[in-house]
């Protein structure tokens, strides 16, 4: 029992609380009918999509939902800690925390192809859930935060772990209550569900996490530098108010070095590339203009505070031609 893969032509765009509440009421009834008295396993990353799905399913089936947060070692700085604090301590969700950092990084060692990385991460997620389900009783469903752009892009652009990376022998039936919504609609639904703005308005984060922003083969050193540089970018955007204006902003670090100077000595380091875009549906995107004084401050902090980075670049490519993510 699943929702259709194509959004109905007469489906209204959810822009108001009234329309959001109607959608919630419909999905609560749909989920109750689909799940009945069975248990549902949800990958709770803490991003907008999985958070809205978790809240909606808690409203529909309560403690039948088991939320699993997998720390794959590719999260942003402080993110796993925030997920535990918000969902377990504040929202009293049935949350299981799994630290699988070493497991994922071992599998990704030496892998540079973007699609291979995505598929490895997606497949390992499913394995983790399968193992966790075997420890629990009555797990029959896997919930996912799949949204409409994932479905549109899954066949032609990327192997998204929510859509294209599921193994054929997966033991769970899927529960995907927001699969026909665009990202802006998901946010409206989240607010109607009562989720805090810090969660509903946060920028999207890809399923493979920093694994597709640490370009090429992932190393611990570059991953650490990426995490620290990204944290600085987010902190400075918060300070100057850009975080409320920009849909998605992040750092990518390629697997290459250039010559620089630090403390009067030759210094080889990686470039940190800033990507900041705005969009309504994730199918197209425009570039956000960042004031030069902000760019100068970000550049100074990253090059001085983050070991291994000696240049900061700005990506000015809209979508199309460039995709939002680099990989």
Altogether, the residues listed in the chain come to a count of 327
Strands, DSSP E only, in 38-181?
A: 39-43, 65-71, 95-99, 139-143, 173-175
| Block residue for tokens 């598929």 | 119
Instruction: Give the DSSP H or E segment for 49.
Output: helix 48-61
Instruction: Give the DSSP H or E segment for 286.
Output: strand 286-287
In this predicted model, what pLDDT tens digit does every residue of 170-202 receive, in sequence order?
Answer: 567 999 999 999 989 999 999 999 888 878 888
Percent of the chain clearing pLDDT 90 (strictly above): 69
Residue 155 has pLDDT above 70, yes or no: no
d(CA 315, CA 134): 45
User: Which sign does the torsion angle of CA 195, 152, 80, 126 carry?
Assistant: positive
Band of pLDDT at residue 156, cut at 50, 70 and 90: very low
Architecture of domain 17-200: 3-Layer(aba) Sandwich (3.40)
In this predicted model, what pLDDT tens digit does every residue of 259-301 receive, in sequence order?
Answer: 999 888 999 999 999 999 999 888 899 999 999 999 999 999 9
Residue 232 near residue 305 (C-beta atoms within 8 A) = yes
Torsions phi, psi of 52, nearest 5?
-65, -40
Grouping H, G, I as helix, E, B as strand and the rest as coil, residue 311 is strand
In this predicted model, what pLDDT tens digit does every residue of 121-150 receive, in sequence order?
Answer: 989 988 887 787 788 888 899 899 999 988
The torsion of the CA quartet 83, 89, 92, 97, rounded to 10 degrees, works out to 50
> What is the value of pTM for the model shown?
0.78
Domain boundaries, the chain: 17-200, 213-314
In this predicted model, what pLDDT tens digit does every residue of 47-81 receive, in sequence order?
Answer: 899 999 999 999 999 999 999 998 999 999 988 99
Residue 158 has pLDDT above 80, yes or no: no
The fold of the 213-314 domain, in CATH, is GMP Synthetase; Chain A, domain 3 (3.30.300)
């Amino acid at each position: 029992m699943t929702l259709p893969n194509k959004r109905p032509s007469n489906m209204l765009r959810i822009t108001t609380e009234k329309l959001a509440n109607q959608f919630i009421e419909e999905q609560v009834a749909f989920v109750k009918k689909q799940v009945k008295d069975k248990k549902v396993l949800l990958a709770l990353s803490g991003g907008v999509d999985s958070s809205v799905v978790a809240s909606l399913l808690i409203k529909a089936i309560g403690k039948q939902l088991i939320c699993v947060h997998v720390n794959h070692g590719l999260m942003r700085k402080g993110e796993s800690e925030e997920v535990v604090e918000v969902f377990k301590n504040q929202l009293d969700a049935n949350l299981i925390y799994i630290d699988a950092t070493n497991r994922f990084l071992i599998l990704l060692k030496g892998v540079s192809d973007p699609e291979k990385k995505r598929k490895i991460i997606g497949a390992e997620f499913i394995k983790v859930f399968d193992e966790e389900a075997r420890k629990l009783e009555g797990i029959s469903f896997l919930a996912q935060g799949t949204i409409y752009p994932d479905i549109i892009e899954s066949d032609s652009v990327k192997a998204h772990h929510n859509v294209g990376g599921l193994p054929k022998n997966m033991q769970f039936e899927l529960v995907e209550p927001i699969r026909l919504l665009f990202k802006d609609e998901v946010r409206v639904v989240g607010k109607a569900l009562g989720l805090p703005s810090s969660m509903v308005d946060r920028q999207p984060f890809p399923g493979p996490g920093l694994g597709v922003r640490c370009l090429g083969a992932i190393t611990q050193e570059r991953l650490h530098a990426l995490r620290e540089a990204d944290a600085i970018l987010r902190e400075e955007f918060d300070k100057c108010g850009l975080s409320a204006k920009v849909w998605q902003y992040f750092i990518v670090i390629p697997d290459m070095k250039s010559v620089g100077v630090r403390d009067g000595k030759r210094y080889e380091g990686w470039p940190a590339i800033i990507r900041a875009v705005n969009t309504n549906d994730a199918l197209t995107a425009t570039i956000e203009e960042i004031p030069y004084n902000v760019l100068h401050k970000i550049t100074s902090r990253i090059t001085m505070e983050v070991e291994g980075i000696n240049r900061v670049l700005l990506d000015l490519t809209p979508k199309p031609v460039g995709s939002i993510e680099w990989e």
